[in-house]
Amino acid sequence: MNLLYKIKSTLTLLFAFGMLQGQTHDPEVKALLQAVNAKVESYNNIQIDFKYVLENDSENIRQETHGKITLSGDKYALDILGVQRLFDGETLYTISPEDEEVTISKDNSEDDNTISPSALLTFYESGYNYKLDISQLKFGRKIQYIKLTPIDSEAEIKYALLGVDTKTKHIYNLIEIGENDTKTTLTILAFKTNIPLPKSFFKFNASDYDDYYMSIKQI
């Protein structure tokens, strides 16, 4: 599994909390997830700076990368691994300065190289059990963890821990433990909301990439 796909999967789960609230009978978990979901839905847009770490001690692997994602409705802009992915609600533009190439396509949630906000809210629509786990103090903030365990015994992860700041009701981090003991941690470093974005923020301007090769997939 490549790193980009793993980041996609983690972001998908991170933003799936809106669906999680309907899949637990624990009133505390349900109340917390509802509060998180209501908080997020109250924002016009969200911008997140995050750190992503993939570790496997037995294989002596540790990969760390930073990224930023801005979301507004069905639109998003993701910057990760030196590539920008810009989705205007209909078309996905993948911009690679290193290759001087722009790939234009529909945002296909089944494609390993795409991240769709709509998929973020439906990919994990079913298949997990949830319960309260430990709470910890992180930099003076109380973080309550919710443990997500897949119902499918053949799932790629053993479990995940979703950390929620109990005061702000913002997500702090997401930890996944894979079947091969690979641990991935996505930590939110900055969480900004209702940013005054220009109307053209999610619009692709072809004139900015006159020297780039345009690769058009079926759209």
pLDDT at 8: 60
pLDDT tens per residue, range 154-187: 878 888 888 999 999 988 988 889 878 899 888 9
Alpha helices in 21-162 (DSSP H): 27-41, 117-120
Q: pTM value?
A: 0.80
Q: How many domains does the chain have?
A: 1
Residue 49 belongs to domain spanning? 3-216
Name the most confidently modeled range: 26-40, 90-104, 106-120: 90-104
Q: Are 61 and 54 in contact (CB under 8 A)?
A: yes
Q: Are 68 and 48 in contact (CB under 8 A)?
A: yes
Question: For residue 87, which of 68, 101, 71, 100 has the smallest C-alpha distance?
Answer: 71
pLDDT(107) > 70: no
- Sheet with 141-150, edge to edge strand ranges: 128-138, 141-150, 157-165, 171-178, 183-193, 46-56, 61-72, 75-80, 83-87, 91-96, 101-106, 213-216
- State the CATH number of the domain containing residue 192: 2.50.20.10
